Amino acid sequence: MRKWISFPKQVGKSSRQAHADFPEQAIYEREAGRSGFFGPATHFHHQHAPTGWSEWRGPLRPRAFDFNKLEAIAPENPWLTPDLLHNNNCRFRLWHCHSKMDYLVRNADGDDLLFVHEGSGHLHCDYGHIQLVKGDYFLIPRSTNWRLEPDETMQLLMIEATNGSYSLPEKGLVGNHAIFDSAVLDTPDIDEAFQAQYSEEQWQVYVKRHQQVSVITYPYNPLDAIGWHGELAPVRLNWRDIRPLMSHRYHLPPSAHTTFVADRFVVCTFVPRPIESDPGALKVPFYHNNDDYDEVLFYHEGDFFSRDNIDRGMVTFHPAGFTHGPHPKAFKAGREHKKKFTDEVAVMLDTRDALQASDEALAVENPDYVYSWQEK
């Protein structure tokens, strides 16, 4: 266990409580912290917005991508879908599934987390059949055979835990039933729809290992299980079953919205909630230096209250190493407490190791995003 150097001090004029009751002459709070939002932290009070830069040079920059423009390059096989962001422990893709898969796929590199951004369909896997709808997460354990039968074109965010696995977060003081009760997690079933797809005809399985694809041919459909028992299985969770932690007097950090945990990254979900009502409490995300993690936000739907000109299907990428936070209009609206409720749904990926943006992602980048914090 690491023992951080810790000696809490107060210098100059500061608030007694983080994210609340700021000094009048310094309304901009900045958090400098370690280990995401779990390590030691200091809160500065500034006279100017920490994002008020006038010029930016060099590769370390906030980025925004419009993944709605990726449709033209989308292949049918998920393993041919290009990585958009990646590192040694994580791969982030957006896959368009247009038609029924007449083959199976298996990821031997790690667990896959699917998030249904658009459409609906039926997924068949080793464990049975399950229907997926817009807003569903579906966690697929490593080396599970599966295929999709879309009712309509499906857009799926895919986050691979490379050489790793997913688990649920520790919920600490609030207990195991907070945020979402594990009872809401659904698993596939050996039902009539699954039994109807038993087949003695030839099937192929596309297996991805070390980012290379092998094809295994069977003279029958390998999805032929008649039953199973155990505690390892795919699970489905819809964002509508998430009941977010909240405080009317304190703006909770993003870590409070953690949904899944992997070895070197976490996946969080932002869902509609009341906005803080205490007069002195911060109403928007605080400016922060998340200097140990890269931060990625995929915007699913709603009005993204801390961002300007960001629409559904877009992604923002804030690499570790600089201060970021709400856009000026959002910060002003928060000060005026114009909104009482958020209606955004977004998936956040926070990675301990630096992510690389692929050529495909850079081709749909908005290069002016770095200047979107300027007052207009």
User: Does 311 show up as a binding residue in the annotation?
Assistant: no
349: Cβ–Cβ under 8 A, 6 or more apart, which residues? 85, 90, 92, 159, 265, 266, 267, 295, 296, 297, 298
* CA–CA distance, 136 with 161 (Å, rounded to integer): 18
Which whole-number Å values give the CA distances from 188 to 68, 92, 128, 162, 164, in the listed order? 30, 24, 5, 23, 22
β-bridge partners, 203: 218
Q: Is 257 within any annotated ligand binding site?
A: no
Residues acting as catalytic residues: 251
Token pair for 235: 């699970």
Strand order in the sheet with 258-261: 63-66, 314-318, 294-301, 345-351, 265-270, 258-261
Which amino acid is present at 162? T
**Of all helices (H) and strands (E), which one includes residue 302?**
none
d(CA 288, CA 334): 17
Q: Would you mind telling me the total number of residues written for the chain in this entry?
A: 376
Residue 292 gets which letter from DSSP? Answer: T
Give the strand pairing for 294-301 and 128-132: unpaired
Q: What is the CA radius of gyration of the chain?
A: 22
Which residue numbers belong to the known binding site for Fe cation? 288, 294, 324
Which residue numbers belong to the known binding site for homogentisate? 324
